[in-house]
Structure 1
Amino acid sequence: MAYEVNAHLKPSNLKGLSENQIAQHWKLYEGYVAQSNALKAELEALRKEGKGATPLYADRRRRFGFEYNGMVLHEYYFGNLKAGVAEPGDASPLRKALSEQFGSFEAWKDDCVKCGATRGIGWAVLYLDPATGWLTNHFIQLHEDGNVAGFAPILVLDVFEHAYMVDYPATGRPDYMKAFFENVNWAAVEKRFAEASAGKIPARF
């Protein structure tokens, strides 16, 4: 079974993020899907050849984690972008949980933006710990360093320069993050929160 590009996740008509920006970013996602499939096939072939203990196999296994996480995080990212979706209201379980744990919804958002402003390349992710219901923002360097085992991604923000450099300069991450929050698909984010709260892995697509 091969991984597929989930074309229905590709957003359009976003405020502050051009069609060209999304198109260029989408090509990188397609590359992660292709590389995940190529490495999966190579690992299977090496294993069948009895080369599972070789340096080549070890290298490809490590590389697969990078490519696969890149694919998955981009699917969550594109899946939580949509134009014209209002922020969750006071009755929203997600807003209530964030307000309870951070003091207010705005305080959580401020913390998430500060997380996304961390120097380096990677991701800012709002996670839910299914064991405790704890909601926390985490910075993931590259695609794998900082991923918390067992935590469920609720909102995913790509802060690699490739996510915004068509529309913003290299120093334009703050403006890009402002545009990101004007285009969050809160319906998708709230659905992930509901699934994770019920002990399920949030669907990517």
Structure 2
Amino acid sequence: MADVKRYTPHDFSKVRGLTGISDKQIEEHLKLYEGYVKRTNALTEKLQGLCNEGKAAGADPVFAELTRRLGFEYSGMVNHEYYFANLAPGAQAEPPAGGKLRKAIEASFGKYETWLADFRAIATMPGIGWAMTFQDPNTGWLSNHWLTLHENNVPVGFRPVLALDGWEHAFMRDYLATERAKYVDAFFKNVNWEAVEKRIA
């Protein structure tokens, strides 16, 4: 019997000293991320156990609901890893001119300011979820998307490039629920553009 694959939380201890996002906010958020890792492992183990016992059946409500839940937990884990990895203290205000990321943005949106305005508009929409930039692997084009929950509205096969957690848990220690725009402003003061550029194909 194959061993159950287990994930361990990534080390994001360097994500401290951000502008406008407190260390307390990050620490609380990281605990939530670690919960996604724990639940992904627990669900994976439970589902593998059901498979090994010959109980994997779409008609079984337990198997079906656990399988549906796995997409939420898995995506919650992975999205948070993209989010924390694209934050750093002392970040540049915008991606450097002439870089691969800047060129991809300009090829897709005409200019950086247009992409930024589009991303900000999406990030400040009402609702819970994520604002993310993705790259189409076939064309190289970038597009901005709102992900409801963690797993809904993800364009299949596209590469995540930039991730902003728009859930209230990402900012409500530092800002009011009605102040997401201030949080978005703070987010862009801390984007690690070098890390984001490495995600461009």
Shorter chain as denominator, the TM-score bin is: over 0.9
Q: Residue 184 of structure 1 aligns to which amino acid in structure 2?
A: V
Question: 1-side partners of 2:77 and 2:14: how far apart?
Answer: 13
Q: Alpha-carbon deviations, 1:107-164, whole Å to 9, x = none? A: 1111001111122100001000011111000000000110111000000000000000
In the TM superposition, residue 9 of structure 1 has moved relative to its aligned partner by 6.1
User: Percent identity at matched positions?
Assistant: 51
Partner of 2:70: 64
Q: Alpha-carbon deviations, 1:83-114, whole Å to 9, x = none? A: 11212222112112212321211111110011
Do structure 1's residue 47 and structure 2's residue 57 form an aligned pair?
A: no
Q: Residue 9 of structure 2 aligns to which amino acid in structure 1?
A: V
Question: 2-side partners of 1:65 and 1:9: how far apart?
Answer: 26
Do structure 1's residue 79 and structure 2's residue 85 form an aligned pair?
A: yes
Question: What is the alpha-carbon root mean square deviation over aligned residues?
Answer: 1.0
Return 33-42 or 45-54, whichever deviates more: 45-54
Which of these residues, 17, 22, 29, is aligned with residue 25 of structure 1? 29
Partner of 2:167: 160
Do structure 1's residue 105 and structure 2's residue 105 form an aligned pair?
A: no
Aligned to 2:198, what secondary structure does the other structure show?
A: helix
Q: Alpha-carbon deviations, 1:64-87, whole Å to 9, x = none? A: 000000000000000000011212
Residue pair 2:132, 2:147 contacting (<8 A) in 1 also: yes
Residue pair 2:15, 2:87 contacting (<8 A) in 1 also: yes
In the TM superposition, residue 167 of structure 1 has moved relative to its aligned partner by 0.1
Q: Could you state the TM-score of these two structures normalised by the residue count of structure 2?
A: 0.94
Q: Could you state the TM-score of these two structures normalised by the residue count of structure 1?
A: 0.92
Question: 1-side partners of 2:122 and 2:174: how far apart?
Answer: 21
Residue pair 1:10, 1:78 contacting (<8 A) in 2 also: no
Aligned length: 194
Partner of 1:179: 186
Q: Which runs of 4+ in 1 moved over 4 A?
A: none
Partner of 1:95: 102
Partner of 1:135: 142
Aligned to 1:192, what secondary structure does the other structure show?
A: coil
Question: 2-side partners of 1:29 and 1:8: how far apart?
Answer: 11
Which of these residues, 128, 137, 147, is aligned with residue 121 of structure 1? 128
Residue pair 2:107, 2:141 contacting (<8 A) in 1 also: no
Do structure 1's residue 38 and structure 2's residue 45 form an aligned pair?
A: no
Question: 2-side partners of 1:85 and 1:165: how far apart?
Answer: 22
Q: Alpha-carbon deviations, 1:5-62, whole Å to 9, x = none? A: 1114651100000010001111110000000000000001111111101211111000
